[in-house]
Structure 1
């Protein structure tokens, strides 16, 4: 037999690509034909806008928390943004920072001074939860800050605040 008339084995035969499946509520086929796979994509512009808002909230909250530790801002200004546990932990840490005498260490009087938030990153955990991290640069050191934000009554509240 010649090469043009030789029969192909089943293993050599080309396999047509399978049509993707589309999930339709109720299990019915769409009017255009059988079910083909496509799940509606998440609205990217809305998620990107929400992530920018979370980064802005995180940035301002971290800046304010560092100012509380420096003693230049009262902790009660963060009462609407932080939950009760975070607020009391921040107040406790600020009180401990103020108790350190300035002569006890060469850096004691300059802790948390002139701090600026360098960068903020946010990651969506679920529809109502984000986790964020921030880099804070001070005179003497660089700090990392981790936050967990949860939506409550259409407002975002920080439920975890860890300042390194």
Structure 2
């Protein structure tokens, strides 16, 4: 048996990744950078080092109130456990993967590393009035 290194006839070419990098206004926006910055900000809100009001434009109402509730629960749990160290120390985004659903909708998976653990975030971004807004957010 021999191994052929030449491509087969009729082999399917790799599909090119299609990322919506331009809003309707024509300004160039990389969705990966938007997802990265929002994920970093979300974890900082959970850590209590960033006010949630800074994400008001970037999050839909449902996502905003859900994150606000989860941050309050995290603070409450930290106060009850009387832990001397904070739960989320120095979070850092490790990787971002973006899948384009359409020209105005993307989904991203983000891995964030903290001092003692890694967590995953799933983010759905929709282009609304030339601004990428999170319409679904899942935090692992």
Structure 1 length-normalised TM: 0.66
Q: Where does structure 2 lack aligned partners over 5 or more consecutive residues?
A: 1-15, 23-28
Where does structure 1 differ by over 6 angstroms across 4 or more consecutive aligned residues?
none
- What does residue 74 of structure 2 align with? 97
Alpha-carbon offset, residue 103 of structure 1: 6.5
Residue 87 (structure 2) aligns with: 111
Say whether the 8 Å CA contact 2:100–2:106 is kept in structure 1. Answer: yes
Task: List alignment gaps of at least 5 residues for structure 1.
Answer: 1-43
When residues 101 and 56 of structure 1 are mapped into structure 2, their CA distance, relative to the original with a 3 A threshold, is: closer
Alignment-derived partner of residue 50 in structure 1: 21
Which residue of the partner structure matches residue 125 of structure 1? 101
Larger of the two Rg values belongs to structure: 1
Q: What TM-score does the superposition give when structure 2 sets the normalisation length?
A: 0.77
Report the number of matched residues: 119
Whether 2:117 is the aligned partner of 1:146: answer: no
C-alpha distance in 2 between matches for 1:93 and 1:55: 25
SS of equivalent residue, structure 1 residue 127? coil
